[in-house]
Amino acid sequence: MKPIFIILCIAFILCIDSMGQTGSDYKSFAKDNYSISYPGNWEVSSNGQMGTSFIILSPLESDHDKFRENVNLMIQDLSRYNIDLNEFVSISEGQLKTMITNGNLISSERVKAGKSEYHKVIYTGDQDIYKLKFEQYYWVDNKKAYILTLSCETNQFDTYQSVGENILNSFKFN
């Protein structure tokens, strides 16, 4: 009797865990050449706020929460330049140190996912009153750079990293 109970408990926990990660509680946002999925209780805006193509905002945790963790996409036109992914990463990493207050690069790695290849960086920095931690994916495709970013308060990064990476990893070129 005990082994069956334990198996049922494990199956139940796995079902609950997977419900928060993928499935029908996720929504999709699509444009002509890409799509992305996000939790149903997050809010998407494509009004171009701060130069973004879209921003997906987490719900506030309380009345005292002033920063909404988010995933956003910026697209840069590279048609005037002959820049590949390696060069784009090098330029971006240099800008982290000079353009972000207290910018600190934590990791930088190339990732292959099926036929796609992107570069992943994690860094910290200050923005106004916030101490933030970022996880970014870079692609260079068709003379455009795509910068997909998870932005979190540093002390909330571990809490949001899993759902943030689910969102980041759902990004697909159509």
What does the pLDDT look like over 148-162, one tens digit per residue? 999 999 999 999 999
Q: Is residue 99 one of the residues assigned to a domain?
A: yes
Q: Is residue 142 one of the residues assigned to a domain?
A: yes
Q: Is residue 95 one of the residues assigned to a domain?
A: yes
Whole-number pLDDT of residue 12: 36
Residue 39 domain boundaries:
27-173
CATH of the domain at 137: 3.40.1000.10
Q: What is the CA radius of gyration of the chain?
A: 18
Which residues face 124 on adjacent strands? 104, 133
Q: Are 108 and 89 in contact (CB under 8 A)?
A: yes
Q: Is residue 6 one of the residues assigned to a domain?
A: no
Q: Is residue 11 one of the residues assigned to a domain?
A: no
Chain segment 16-35, per-residue pLDDT in tens: 333 344 445 999 999 989 99
Question: Mean pLDDT over residues 84-105, rounded?
Answer: 95
Whole-number pLDDT of residue 15: 35
Q: Is residue 21 one of the residues assigned to a domain?
A: no
68: pLDDT strictly greater than 90:
yes
Strands (E), 33-143: 34-39, 43-45, 54-57, 70-77, 101-113, 116-127, 130-141
Q: Is residue 81 one of the residues assigned to a domain?
A: yes
Q: Is residue 53 one of the residues assigned to a domain?
A: yes
| Widest Cα–Cα separation across the chain | 69
The total of structural domains in the chain comes to 1
